[in-house]
Copies of this chain bind each other. A is one copy, B any other.
């Protein structure tokens, strides 16, 4: 039986201010929860699962996690869930403690007010695919612990070092490597050199990169357009640019 206070606590974690206060966040669904459990940087504090899920997955879960493992009924899971169709298991994790950002020898992404949680999650997953080490988000970017972000990272959340900072200050201090900015009027991406180390700035979904940050870029790059669409989705643009700039093996 799930206690009222547990339900209330989980529901509170759907909101940023309560996640910040408790330093906890929620992950849902079998794949995401099992992926995050296996991430050595992340500490799980509670798992709530349906009977069948626990029966199948307990041996695997116990390899990585020794804390409370609680059976819940479908309607209890539904009450706690942020998803339309809750998916067998919900887990509470401690938020990650960001590590120092090392830009030399690495590729880092700078996100200037990415607002959509789906885009934020997809960008984290792309970063993980291309071996990006750090993501630096502006203070008004979507919260990486928003349930929709956690869902769309597909487990990549624990493998990237992500911080929130004033981008102007951060870029000024870290401009020891090339700073590329993605915009609509830059140099052709296809003519750019591969990047052994550097920073890539991606702008807000509708406003792009703010003027002040553009001026800190060493190069503005553009994905050449063949057709008519006005722009590309921010996550798609990030994927395309990294696929052209990141060498096959760093």
Contact = CB atoms under 8 A, between A and B. Distances in A.
Interface of A: 118, 122, 125-132, 152, 154-156, 159, 188-190, 223-233, 235-237, 239-240, 243-244, 246-250
A246 B240 CA distance: 13
A92 to B, nearest CB: 23
B125 A159 contact: no
B243 A125 contact: no
Which 3 A-B pairs give the minimum distances between C-beta atoms?
Answer: A131-B227, A131-B226, A128-B229
Nearest to A160: B227
Contact of A226 (B130, B154, B229, B236): B130
Counting chain B CB atoms within 10 Å of each CB, the highest count among A226, A227, A230, A247 belongs to A227
Contacts of A236: 122, 126, 235-236, 239
A127 to B, nearest CB: 7
Contacts of A132: 227
